[in-house]
Amino acid sequence: MGRTWAGGVLAGLLLLAACGDPSSGPGTAQPERPVPGTAAAKAPGPSPSSTTQQQRPPASAAPEAPAKRPTVLYLGDSLAMENQKVLGGLLQDELKARYTSAPYSGTTLCDYIEGTGEKSLVPARDKAAALVRSLRPDFVVLQFWGNAWDYTWCMDGITHGKDPARYFARYTSDARKLTDQIANVSGAKRPKVVWVLQGPDPITPDRVRRVNAIYEQQADASGDLVADAGKEVGPADARYTWSQHLPCTAYERDHPAYCTQPGSNRTALHRDDDYLHFCLAPTTEKSRPCPVRSPGILRMTRAITKALTAATN
């Protein structure tokens, strides 16, 4: 990362990171420096193995080829960290996309805004505007749960639990600032920002609903897009009701590794010990892309891919 940490101490503290309220909740692992580059293989984490390669879903029927290969930049927090390799694989299969991911666990919108300096978990070289300058992407995909905890220093101590009104006002302001910085460095070729809508929060369900509304309002105001990935990990008739298991989809039934309880036609979205993340492998001290097949991750990344495909063709 951009500065030297007392590694063992920080790693231990970051395992206590927040995500549910989002100022308390299940742990996230230590953020670490991703290596931006084309294709999912450039993402941080272990080198490809039989386990990580198995996480890539079977390719669907080949869609109509886009007129050009889009360049996609994917930024976000621990949910993006665990999603990044699967999303990269889908975008390569479906769109032949040039893909770069640079997520950091535990982060929030202001971490990616230039000017936050030492108050951020994201170093200057990986701020959204810096990466847009160097990569000139067609799409910038942003996936943020809405963290506000002890290590989101750029939030200046504002949390949903302490002051919901200030939290939502700050989040609205930061969504606008981040969009403006991306636009201001883009020149004549402004990328489309794709805001990923979040799934249900069992602790503060109204918080996620309002955060998603902020994303939708910002997308409308700036002519950008949303991808409702969160809808895919909630009940069909109750968008903001959290559930650990959902009925298997037709795709999951056709690919049994993604239907974890075929006898009852149910699949697991979360581990028993983690209500937020969708990776079915345990959280580790070192942040990493998810190493195992996980239905929730596939559902969300397919929704993001669908939105980008619609915007490209």
Q: What is the pLDDT along the chain (313 residues), one digit of tens a residue?
A: 333 232 333 333 333 344 444 654 444 444 444 434 433 333 333 332 222 333 556 555 555 556 689 999 999 999 999 999 999 999 999 999 999 999 999 999 999 999 998 889 999 999 999 999 999 999 999 999 999 988 899 999 999 999 999 999 999 999 999 999 999 999 888 999 999 999 999 999 999 999 999 999 999 999 999 999 999 999 999 999 999 999 999 999 999 999 999 999 999 999 999 999 999 999 888 889 999 999 999 999 999 999 999 999 8
Q: Please check whether residue 146 is in contact with residue 171, taking contact to mean a CB–CB distance below 8 angstroms.
A: yes
Q: At what angle do helices 205-222 and 164-184 cross, to 10 degrees?
A: 30
**Residue 58: predicted pLDDT:** 57
> What are the backbone dihedrals phi and psi of residue 26, each rounded to the nearest 5 degrees, phi first?
-65, 150
**Residue 276: predicted pLDDT:** 94
Q: Is 183 within a domain? A: yes
Q: Is 37 within a domain? A: yes
**Residue 195: predicted pLDDT:** 98
Q: Is 86 within a domain? A: yes
- 205-220 residues labelled b (16+ CB within 10 A) or e (exposed): eebbbbbbebbeebbe
**Residue 102: predicted pLDDT:** 98
Nearest to 147 by CA among 126, 121, 123: 121
Q: Is 114 within a domain? A: yes
Nearest to 2 by CA among 147, 157, 111: 111
- CATH number of the domain residue 178 falls in: 3.40.50.2300
Q: Is 276 within a domain? A: no
Place of tokens 């669908």: 306
Q: Is 219 within a domain? A: yes
Please tell me the pTM assigned to this model.
0.83
State how far the Cα of 165 lies from the Cα of 174, in Å rounded to an integer: 14
**Residue 42: predicted pLDDT:** 39
Structural domain count, the chain? 1
Nearest to 75 by CA among 117, 118, 130: 130
Q: Please state, in angstroms and as integers, the Cα–Cα distance from residue 89 to each residue in 43, 84, 85, 107, following that order.
A: 11, 9, 6, 24
Give me the domain span that covers residue 94. 17-46+62-231+303-312
DSSP string, 32-93: ------SSGGGSSSSPP-HHHHHTSPPP-SPPPPPSS--EEEEEESHHHHHHHHHHHHHHHH
Q: Is 56 within a domain? A: no
Hey, what are 156's tokens? 């200046």
Three-state secondary structure string covering 93-133: HHHCCEEEECCCCCCCHHHHCCCCHHHCCCCHHHCHHHHHH
Q: Is 179 within a domain? A: yes
